[in-house]
Amino acid sequence: MTEFRSSLLQSLIERGFLHQCTDLEGLDKLALEGPVTAYIGFDCTADSPHIGNLVSIMMLRRLQQAGHRPIVLMGGGTTKVGDPSGKDEGRKLLSDEDIARNMAGFRRVFDRYLSFGAGPADAIMLNNADWLDGLQYIPFLRDFGRHFSVNRMLSFDSVKLRLEREQPLSFLEFNYMILQAYDFVELARTQKCRLQLGGSDQWGNIINGIELARRVADIEVFGFTSPLITTSSGAKMGKTVSGAVWLNADRLSSYDFWQYWRNTEDADVGRFLKLFTDLPLVDIDRLVAPDGPGINEAKKALANAATALAHGAAAAAEAAETARRVFEEGTLSDNLPSFEIDLTDGVPAFKLFVQAGLASSNGEARRLISGGGAYLNNAAIENGDRLVTLADLTGDGVIKLSKGKKHHALVRPRAG
């Protein structure tokens, strides 16, 4: 295997971020010449990134740690169009106010992973609406549209798969890849950006940008993609019974975030430690070695490090202590996820499990209970229609719901 001299490529490759690159040797040479400006684009479709975005976020972090300059490009303009990549249908169109609110939520998360400022390696956040919103349609088609072949655009997976499934693809979405390619040209011209990073599903869009930059601006730029991250069992990463694993603590508690990592499949722990934490590789090798401290300690190290990055060291320590008390001592903790509900007239047990986020639907809650996996105050629930009332409160004034041994929530009574 080729030995690369730049710390950027060494870090990205050693930690498992490489899927494809347009020119590894050329990028290695560029990274040795001085700070490289690189970007990743994020659509503003939610007010927080989720774990599915975390590989991209960590690539920008590795870039900055190697002395280079990250650009977080928020798709304030392209969000109004919608990326068809990996989608079965068109996205809901958002208002400018929705997009602005979502961008603010992203910035709060990115502040934990990147250092923003005006220095040569400081990150900046840009909004592609600043240049896309003002484009004139006819001049844009004349100057840039002529460089795109419809035949080739139809061959990209993001388009081809939708058409093969006979699912509608609007002309609006079809324009997305042209606008993303133009983003790369704009950043190359105005920010001296030479590299676009992204997930493997963005390869076609990245190649479009590279070719457009060469044709209209005579600029050599590079593309680098990361692999699609799945668990060792083949599941797509980032989903739980209660939905997406958000990075913003307002959307998902630090305890639930910590617990997500703690429940990582054994075979994935070493890989995830490399991708999602800053632990040195030698420490990771020690943690996962056959004669190391054991897989459970490695999982705790992963949960602690990943949560500290996303929510802060104090939140990670608190989540770890909550888990210790719940699982090792069998005691309750105020830091467990909780919600309030009026129990005066009683609430069916299956409904409480849905409201607690321990089941995604009434049907799933009933199946969990009938299968013997649902507990109320550590006692198995035999009937999903059983009414849970004020009489079920523990001495601490709460009710503990459990899904198996690893997922818990507290129910607190609310005055009717």
pLDDT band at 242 (very low <50, low <70, confident <90, very high): low
Give the model confidence (pLDDT) of 245-257 as tens digits.
999 998 988 988 9
pLDDT at 306 over 60: yes
Highest mean pLDDT among 81-85, 89-93, 103-107, 378-382 belongs to: 103-107
The pTM score is: 0.80
pLDDT at 189 over 70: yes
Strands (E), 51-180: 69-75, 124-127
Q: What is the mean pLDDT of residues 169-177?
A: 74
Residue 384: per-residue pLDDT: 86
**387, containing H or E segment:** strand 387-388
Q: Which residue has the tokens 């603590």?
A: 249
d(CA 117, CA 71): 11
What would the DSSP string read from start to end of 271-288? HHHHHH----HHHHHHHH
Give the model confidence (pLDDT) of 16-61 as tens digits.
999 999 999 999 999 999 999 999 999 888 999 999 999 999 999 9
| First-residue to last-residue Cα distance in the chain | 68
Q: What is the mean pLDDT of residues 91-98?
A: 79
- Least confidently predicted of 113-127, 179-193, 361-375: 361-375
d(CA 217, CA 105): 34
Return the bridge partners of 41, or none. 73
pLDDT at 416 over 60: no
When the pLDDT of each residue in the chain is averaged and rounded to a whole number, the result is 87
Residue 88: per-residue pLDDT: 44
Instruction: For CA atoms 390, 391, 395, 401, give the dihedral sign.
Output: negative
Exposure string of 42-77, with b = 16+ CB inside 10 Å and e = fewer, is: bbbebbbbbbbbbbbbbbbbbbbebebbbbbbbbbb
Residue 65: per-residue pLDDT: 98
pLDDT at 160 over 60: yes
Residue with more model confidence, 151 or 9: 9
